[in-house]
Amino acid sequence: MSVLQQQQLPLDRAIFGEVLACIPEGWTRVQLDASIRETSAAETTMALSLLGMGQAGVAVVSDRLQGEVRRLFLLNERFNTNLRGIMYTYEQKPDGRWSFSATYEYA
């Protein structure tokens, strides 16, 4: 496992935990979409959403989730990966455990 992967793993776990805290009770799947919209010397602007994938209700993105995702982008910036976007999909299995898949977009 690379140093980047070792440092990103705790962030991925924190993001997952916060996603679960942000979704309505009863949701069994959710998609997190995040992307860098603009970067300047002063700040980085991000777009972030949680999609219910056809389920009723609305998920509200928390400040903590925004912070964890921002840390993920900043970590990748330190490693010069040119990461511009992520899509994490979580789905609850019949036994109650959650599966996870990720898609990364690079410049």
The Cα–Cα gap between 45 and 26 comes to 31
- For 94-99, the CB contacts below 8 A with 24+ separation are 98/16, 98/20
How many angstroms separate the CA atoms of 105 and 35, rounded?
Answer: 9
- Between the CA atoms of 69, 74, 76 and 77, what dihedral angle is there, to the nearest 10 degrees? 150
- pLDDT tens for each residue of the chain, 107 residues long: 899 999 999 999 999 999 999 999 999 999 999 999 877 667 778 999 999 999 999 999 999 999 999 999 999 999 999 999 999 999 999 999 999 999 999 99
Alpha helices in the chain (DSSP H): 3-22, 63-78
Tokens of 3: 């140093």
The pTM for the full model equals 0.91
For the domain covering 3-106, report its CATH number: 3.30.500
